[in-house]
Amino acid sequence: MSPHHAVRRSLQNFTYQHTVRLRYEMAFNELTSTALQLYDEWIKDADPRTKDWLLMSSPLPQTIIICAYIYFVMSLGPRLMENKKPFDLKKVLVIYNFGVVALSLYMCYEFVMSGWGTGYSFSCDLVDYSHSPQAMRMAHTCWLYYFSKFIELLDTVFFVLRKKNNQISFLHVFHHSIMPFTWWFGVRFAPGGQGTFHALLNCIVHVIMYTYYGLSALGPAYQKFLWWKKHLTSIQLTQFVIITTHIGQYFFMKDCPYQYPIFIYIIAVYGVVFLFLFLNFWYHAYTKGKRLPKAVRRADKVQNNNSIANSKQD
């Protein structure tokens, strides 16, 4: 091939690559522009009362936080801790767990006083978008519940720092990631009404759960009070049954003008999916005995040994 032909072919390849790159850039810019236009149209219907609250400007800040959380607990954190000793976080865990108990109790009270104990019917409860003290109280409580989901991300961070990687399951990470992400949309569009019942129920469950975790963090002297660990999963399973039953009423109501039915569908799917995920967890953790407290496992082992010994004597 002559130098002239080689130069011409190089120019042709360059021109072709440049044209392809320009087409991709134009397609990307057009897609981005369309997405922004759709977002602008969509966000116009959001609740104006919550737009200036912390993390409420757009879903981008929380998306960055959640992605960083997933990357840290699934990859970066375990690699950083690989050749290090586990951190001793007993005092931190006691303060953290009982702090979450106190916060959950407060949110229970606020959910009850802003609607669920002061007028809601537990059936078709609409969102009050007014600026009345009651409506604003509910909106603020919804935001506080949303923000508490970021505090609870520390659960997994502590697992990483203590090198308890066996407790970082798909269920755990998925649950902690999806809750704040979906609740941004709840606070931004529907902070109140029947879509908040599962939040109240979740706060009640968390009072029980984090009380257990707090007692566990106090040390071996309190192990004798932790025989009810298995019942935590029972409580969580019951929670999702109640959530699914409550939200499922909507599909049988003849007339319920709930402002954002999409959230009803999301909560229903959430309840069913987590019900099955926790049932799967129950099977592997307790039916197979992998997550029972050591004292319970020892007692079961002694009981099984005694049963075998008795059967041999018979």
Which residue carries 């029947």 as its tokens? 194
The 3-class SS string of 25-86 reads HHHHHHHHHHHHHHHHHHHCCCCHHHCCCCCCCCCHHHHHHHHHHHHHHHHHHHHHHCCCCC
Q: Rounded to whole angstroms, how far apart are CA atoms 301 and 289?
A: 11
Residue 309 class from Cβ within 10 Å (0-12 exposed, 13-18 middle, 19+ buried)? Answer: exposed
| Tokens representing residue 179 in the block | 């809750």
Contact 204, 108 (CB under 8 A): yes
Give Cα 114 distance to the centre of its chain. Answer: 23
Query: Catalytic residue among 172, 175, 231, 246, which?
Result: 175
Q: Rounded to whole angstroms, how far apart are CA atoms 89 and 157?
A: 11
Based on the residue annotation, tell me whether 131 is a catalytic residue of this protein.
Answer: no
Question: How many beta carbons lie within 10 A of that of residue 314, not counting itself?
Answer: 5
Q: Rounded to whole angstroms, how far apart are CA atoms 127 and 196?
A: 10
Let me know the angle formed at the C-alpha of 207 by 136 and 140, rounded to the nearest 5 degrees.
10
Q: Rounded to whole angstroms, how far apart are CA atoms 171 and 158?
A: 17
Active-site positions read 175
